[in-house]
C-alpha cells in the first residue's frame, strides 16, 4: 500500500520537487524509517540552547561560561543561556543534562571535578546515577585553569627544586593547604611524583586558606592563579611554579613544576562542554565549531587569560581522549595514596 502511495506522490509533486522532498521526509519520519534526530539537525539550532553549570552563579566556571556563551551565540545565531544547578561537585547539573533530550539544546559544563568523581566511582568509593563517559558525549574542551604552587613570602624556598630539598630534610613538617578534592589530589600527586612527605591541611575555601598563608599560619598550597595573582603582585604571597605543562602567559617568568623539579607533573583545572549521549554527530560538530570560533575572539581570549585561564578548543574526539586520561590519572593517584572520596 505504501509503495502505491509513493508512486502517486511522485506523479503529483514532480513539478514541485521541494514540497515533494519535504512531504516524503515527513512520511518516512512518521513510519520510523529515519530517526527524528537526523531529520532535525539540518536546521540546528532553531531555538535557544541551555548550558547547565553545576555551580552557583558568580564562581569562576560560571563567569567563564557566560563570557564564552555570548560569543558562541553569535556563531550559532541563537541565544545560549547559562543555567545554574549547583550541588554535589557539579553532579546534580550533570544528571539534569543526562536526562535531557539528546538534541543539542541542553549542554553540560564539565569540569575537572567530574573526572575526579568518575574516578572515585570507578574505584568503588562513590555512587552516581549516571556514568560520565557513557551518558554524556564530549563536545569540546574550552579552557584549562591555571593553578600555582604558592608560599608565604618568607618561605625559604624560591623554586620547586629548593622546596624538594627542604621537604626531604624535614619529612612531614611542611604543610600544604587543601581547599577542595581537586587541590587535595594535586597535593597528593606532588607528594607521589616529588617523593616527599608533606602534610595536607584541609580548608573550607580559598579565602580562609589565603588569609592563613599571608599570616604565616601555613607555609604552602596549590591554588588557582586568579585568586593568587593580585596577592602575588602586591608581594603578599610568593609563587613558586605553575602546575600546567606550559607557562602561564600572565606570569611568563614563573616556571612550571614540570620544568623545575618534577618532570611530567600537571594538575590543571579545566572546563568543557558535553551533551547527552545520542546527540547527533553533526550537531556535536556544529557546537564544537561555534565554541572554537568563539575562543578565537581577541577580547574573549584576553579576558580569559587575565582571569588565569588558557583557551583550548580542539576536536570533540580529542577532548574524549583527554577526559579518559584524566579519569585514569586520578584513579591511580587515589589508589596509590590510599585516598577515598565519597558522596
All domains of the chain, ordered by start, with CATH?
Answer: 48-144+270-337 (3.40.190.150), 147-260 (3.40.190.10)
pLDDT higher than threshold 60 for residue 105: yes
Q: Please compute the mean of the pLDDT values over residues 291-310 and round it to a whole number.
A: 93
Pick from 7-11, 50-54, 76-80, 140-144: least confident: 7-11
Using an 8 Å Cβ cutoff, are 51 and 83 in contact?
A: yes
Confidence category of residue 342, pLDDT binned at 50, 70, 90:
confident
- Tens digit of each residue's pLDDT (9 = 90 or more) over 198-257: 999 999 888 999 999 999 999 999 999 988 989 999 999 999 999 999 898 888 899 999
Pairing of strands 238-242, 147-151: antiparallel
* Unique residue bearing C-alpha cell 502511495: 5
- Which among 248, 209, 255 has a CA at the least distance from the CA of 226? 248
Is pLDDT of 35 > 60?
no
Phi-psi region of 124 (alpha: psi -120 to 50; beta: other; left: phi over 0): left
**Parallel/antiparallel/unpaired status of strands 106-111 and 269-276:** antiparallel
Give residue 26's pLDDT band: very low, low, confident or very high (50, 70, 90).
Answer: very low
Distance from C-alpha of 70 to C-alpha of 79, rounded to nearest angstrom: 8
> What proportion of the chain, given as a percentage, has pLDDT over 90?
76
Backbone angles phi, psi at 160, to 5 degrees: -70, -40
The alpha carbons of the chain give a radius of gyration, in whole angstroms, of 24
pTM above 0.95, yes or no: no
C-alpha 178/C-alpha 199 separation (Å) is 10
Distance, in Å, from the CA atom of 106 to the CA atom of 93, rounded to the nearest integer, reads 11
State residue 42's pLDDT score. 60
Amino acid at each position: 500500500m505504501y509503495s502505491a502511495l509513493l508512486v502517486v506522490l511522485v506523479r503529483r509533486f514532480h513539478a514541485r520537487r521541494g514540497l515533494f522532498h519535504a512531504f516524503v521526509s515527513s512520511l518516512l519520519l512518521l513510519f520510523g524509517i529515519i530517526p527524528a534526530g537526523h531529520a532535525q539537525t539540518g536546521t540546528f539550532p532553531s531555538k535557544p540552547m541551555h548550558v547547565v553549570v553545576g555551580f552557583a552563579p558568580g564562581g569562576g566556571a560560571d563567569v567563564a561560561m557566560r563570557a564564552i556563551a555570548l560569543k558562541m551565540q553569535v556563531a550559532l545565531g541563537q541565544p545560549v543561556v547559562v543555567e545554574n544547578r549547583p550541588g554535589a561537585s557539579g553532579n546534580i547539573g550533570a544528571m539534569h543534562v543526562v536526562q535531557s533530550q539528546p538534541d543539542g539544546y541542553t549542554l553540560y559544563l564539565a569540569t575537572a571535578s567530574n573526572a575526579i568523581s568518575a574516578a572515585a566511582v570507578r574505584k568503588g568509593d562513590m555512587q552516581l546515577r549516571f556514568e560520565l563517559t557513557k551518558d554524556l558525549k564530549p563536545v569540546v574542551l574550552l579552557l584549562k585553569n591555571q593553578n600555582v604552587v604558592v608560599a608565604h613570602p618568607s618561605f625559604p624556598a624560591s623554586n620547586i627544586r629548593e622546596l624538594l630539598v627542604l621537604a626531604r630534610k624535614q619529612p612531614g613538617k611542611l604543610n600544604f593547604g587543601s581547599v577542595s578534592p581537586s587541590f587535595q589530589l594535586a597535593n597528593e600527586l606532588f607528594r607521589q611524583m616529588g617523593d616527599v612527605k608533606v602534610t595536607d591541611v584541609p580548608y573550607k575555601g580559598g579565602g580562609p586558606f589565603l588569609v592563613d598563608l599571608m599570616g604565616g599560619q601555613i607555609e604552602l598550597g596549590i591554588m588557582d592563579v586568579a585568586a593568587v595573582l593580585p596577592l602575588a603582585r602586591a608581594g603578599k604571597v610568593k609563587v613558586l611554579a605553575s602546575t600546567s605543562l606550559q607557562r602561564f602567559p600572565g606570569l611568563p617568568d614563573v616556571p612550571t613544576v614540570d620544568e623545575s623539579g618534577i618532570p611530567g607533573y600537571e594538575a590543571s583545572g579545566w572546563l568543557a562542554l558535553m551533551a547527552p549521549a545520542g546527540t547527533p554527530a553533526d550537531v556535536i560538530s556544529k557546537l564544537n565549531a561555534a565554541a572554537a570560533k568563539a575562543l578565537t575572539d581577541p577580547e574573549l581570549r584576553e579576558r580569559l587569560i587575565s582571569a588565569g585561564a588558557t583557551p583550548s578548543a580542539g576536536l570533540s574526539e580529542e577532548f574524549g581522549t583527554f577526559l579518559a586520561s584524566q579519569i585514569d590519572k586520578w584513579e591511580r593517584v587515589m589508589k596509590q595514596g590510599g585516598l577515598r572520596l565519597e558522596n
